[in-house]
Structures are given as structure tokens and as C-alpha cells.
Amino acid sequence: MNARSTNGRRPLHVLIAGGGVAGLEALLGLRHHAQERVSIELLAPEPQFWYRPLSVAEPFGLGRVHGLDLSSVADECGALFTLGGLRGIDTRRGTALTSTGAELDYDALLIAVGARPVESVPGAFTFRGPADSAAFGALLDELGKGKGKRVVFALPGAVSWPLPLYELALQTASRLPALEVVIVTHEEAPLQLFGPAASSAMADLLSDRRIHVRTSSYPVAFENRSLLLTPDWELEADYVVTLPRLEGPRLEGIPSDAQGFISTDGSGRVKGLDAVFAAGDATTFPIKQGGLATQQADAAAEAIAGLAGADVVAEPFRPVLRGLILTGGAPLYARAELSRAGNPASVATDALWWPPGKIVGRYLAPYLAERSGAILDPPIEPEGVPVEADLSSLASAK
């Protein structure tokens, strides 16, 4: 079925299931490392890739989420695009089962299907991303008309990636300075993942915006204009905004934990299966974030390229957390090395990586930067700071 490559071997047929950050990073990385040694098929349940991290700016009119056509991306990489979701696999036959009923053969499979967002705080407004931008914009309009004096942004214990909630709170306080904005978080300090320096910088920023913060508290439910917290406490609020918790994909034939997530080794191999890999939010790695997903995808792509005979040194996943924080003013950059003792971290108003976008990936970030005009509008923040207007020039826009 596959043509011979230049070394006389049949190309390894690689199926990448998922058209998000991890899937596209793997596609670009695998084509870079393996070239003609692989034939690639990209399977995704929708025809577009969405720049999801910018959804926190969209309700404020500071940006608009656009997409890339996945069939065009696949074509650029010499890959085949197939529309459909991954339902499971038959490991004996090396076949992937799709939501459309099709069966796709593979020599190696990379699962990058993400996770399913579900309600975390009953009664609260759950911000999942682009799908909720319009509804959150409507909520802002209500608040702007004086229909509420206090809004609480609540981070439950089941959510490991807090940055979008802080961005929403900061931009809300910037837009509506007369509104009382409160953050309730299970963290011991704001943005604790990034270390003390980032926590201190965020605490100062929150104080400047007159945002009250209650740490070490776990939101449970919002009812009768009261946010119930653990330990035993209640906070009166007109609105509560929260982020969803995530559930794993629970795929047929793929071993998973009690929450449906897939366990992998440092190279992304699914434990107990041959030539099956996973990357991104579908895995058991506890922090679900796009930049970490690209790093997992890089490790898997290098391992798969090695299977195809490419001369590549496969480096294991060593997580480095990077966050570009939209504040309603000048953006803030935070970085932490999660695999090193003490999690060495830094925070700055100057870019700490390049291109300085919200999606950080060795191959995907430059790819998106080259196409930034097709993905992002050139929004302007209240203080005149361009937000992701041009991913290649954001560092100089202060």
C-alpha cells in the first residue's frame, strides 16, 4: 500500500489521532526527523485547529480565535487527513477504530485526543475555552450594567492549570474597576506552579487591581448566591466563574487509570502496548497545558522516528512549564523547570522564549508564527500593548 522510501524500506505508517496542539507538534516533528521514512495520517474529529489559549482575551475584544484548516496543514507535511474521532484500537490487527465506523491501519500510533471538560463547581459559570467566549462576554455586559457587585473566580482542587482563571480575573478587573473581584484558589499562593517569584509578582499585580485572594480553599458549589468552600466557609457572590475539571478519553483497547487517562513512559509509549504512544491532556501527567503537551509530543515523535530508522537521539520528556499571562495590561512571562530539583523558575515582562506566543512548541510555535496573520487579529490592550498581534514581535511590544 505504501511506496518504497529512498532507502528501499517501506515507510512506517504512523497514525496521529488528534488535531490539537500535541497532534500538530507531533506531525511537524515527525516529518522533520523521519522525512520519507514515514507515511503519516492525521485523524481528527473536526476539520480545524483552534488557537484555544487566546479565548480568554476574546470576550474583552482583545483578540479573536481563528483556526487553521487541518487538511491544508496535513497536505503541507505530505500527510493524509481523515475526519473522525478515535474510539479505540485493536492491537492484534494494528487497527484504529474511529467514530465514523472506519478502521485505519497503523504501524505506529500516537494518541493526542485530549481530555473531556466537565463541570467542577455546580452552579458556577464554567469557562471551557472558545465555546464559552460569547457567553462570558454576555456575563461581562451584565456586570457592566450594574447587575452584580461581586464576582468570584474559583479554582477547584481538581484543576491543575490555573492560568486562564487568573487571566479572566485580571482582565475583568481592568475592564470593570468598580466591580469587586475575588479569587478563591486551592493553591497556597497565586500561580504556585511557577514558584515564589511568579507568586510574588502575581500577588502584587492582583493587589494593584484590587483583586482579593483567598488561598488554600476548595470551592464546592455555588447556590443561593453563596459559594460553598472547604474548609467550612461560605462567600457571598453575584456570579462565580470557574474552570472545568478534565476526564480522560477512556478508549477501547487502551489501558487507563480510574479517571480514564493513559499512562506513558518518558518517551510517550503507552505502558503494555507495542508501537502505541500518547501525548498531551489524554495522559496521566497531572498538569494539562499546551506547552507541556508539545514537549510530550516531541519525545514521542523522536521515538517513532527511531522506529522508522531515522538517525535521531530520542530525548525523554523533561517538562518545562511556560506561561504567557494576559493581564489586561503588559503581558507577563513565567517559566519553571518541573523536572529539576527545586523547580528553577523565572518571571519577567520581557519574553523568556521565542517566538513569544501562548502556544510554545519546538516546531508548532514557529509554524504558527509564520501564519500569525491567518490565526490572530491584532488586538490592542487598554495600555496600548499588542496582545499576540504578531507572534514574532510581541517581545518588543511593551
pLDDT tens per residue across span 189-199 = 999 999 999 99
CB 278 within 8 A of CB 112: yes
Q: What pLDDT does residue 66 have?
A: 77
Instruction: List, in order, residues 6 or more apart from 217 with CB less than 8 Å away.
Output: 184, 185, 186, 229, 230, 231, 233
Q: What pLDDT does residue 383 have?
A: 32
Give the model's confidence band at 344: pLDDT under 50 very low, under 70 low, under 90 confident, else very high. confident
Q: What pLDDT does residue 372 have?
A: 64
Q: What pLDDT does residue 8 have?
A: 59
How large is the average pLDDT for residues 171-196? 96
Q: What pLDDT does residue 133 have?
A: 95
pLDDT tens per residue across span 26-79 = 999 999 999 999 999 999 999 999 989 989 999 998 877 778 999 999 999 999
Q: Reply yes or no on whether the pLDDT at 389 is more than 50.
A: no
How large is the average pLDDT for residues 116-126? 97
pTM of this structure: 0.91
How large is the average pLDDT for residues 190-217? 96
Q: What pLDDT does residue 312 have?
A: 96
> What percentage of the chain carries pLDDT values higher than 90?
84
Lookup: cell for 35: 522525512
CB 327 within 8 A of CB 171: yes
CB 243 within 8 A of CB 129: no
Handedness of CA 184, 186, 187, 191 (dihedral sign): negative
Q: Reply yes or no on whether the pLDDT at 303 is more than 70.
A: yes
Pick from 163, 198, 162, 154: nearest CA to 343: 198
Give the model's confidence band at 371: pLDDT under 50 very low, under 70 low, under 90 confident, else very high. confident
Q: To which H or E segment does residue 248 belong?
A: none
> What percentage of the chain carries pLDDT values higher than 70?
91
How large is the average pLDDT for residues 109-138? 97
Q: What pLDDT does residue 14 have?
A: 98
Give the model's confidence band at 370: pLDDT under 50 very low, under 70 low, under 90 confident, else very high. confident
Q: Reply yes or no on whether the pLDDT at 308 is more than 60.
A: yes
Rounded Cα distance between 398 and 394, Å, is: 8
- Domain 12-116+246-307 and domain 117-244, same fold? Reply is yes
Rounded Cα distance between 272 and 254, Å, is: 9
Q: Which fold has domain 12-116+246-307?
A: FAD/NAD(P)-binding domain (3.50.50)
Rounded Cα distance between 385 and 398, Å, is: 6
How large is the average pLDDT for residues 152-174? 97
Q: Reply yes or no on whether the pLDDT at 388 is more than 60.
A: no
Degrees, nearest 5: CA angle 385-330-398: 55
How large is the average pLDDT for residues 324-334? 93
Which residue ranges make up each domain of the chain? 12-116+246-307, 117-244
Say if strands 150-155 and 239-242 run parallel, antiparallel, or are unpaired.
parallel
Q: Reply yes or no on whether the pLDDT at 290 is more than 50.
A: yes
Q: Which fold has domain 117-244?
A: FAD/NAD(P)-binding domain (3.50.50)
Q: What pLDDT does residue 7 have?
A: 52
Give the model's confidence band at 398: pLDDT under 50 very low, under 70 low, under 90 confident, else very high. very low
Q: Reply yes or no on whether the pLDDT at 390 is more than 60.
A: no
Q: Reply yes or no on whether the pLDDT at 141 is more than 70.
A: yes
Q: Does 373 or 196 have the greater pLDDT score?
A: 196
How large is the average pLDDT for residues 310-335? 95
Please give the single-letter amino acid code of residue 37.
R
Averaged pLDDT of the chain:
90
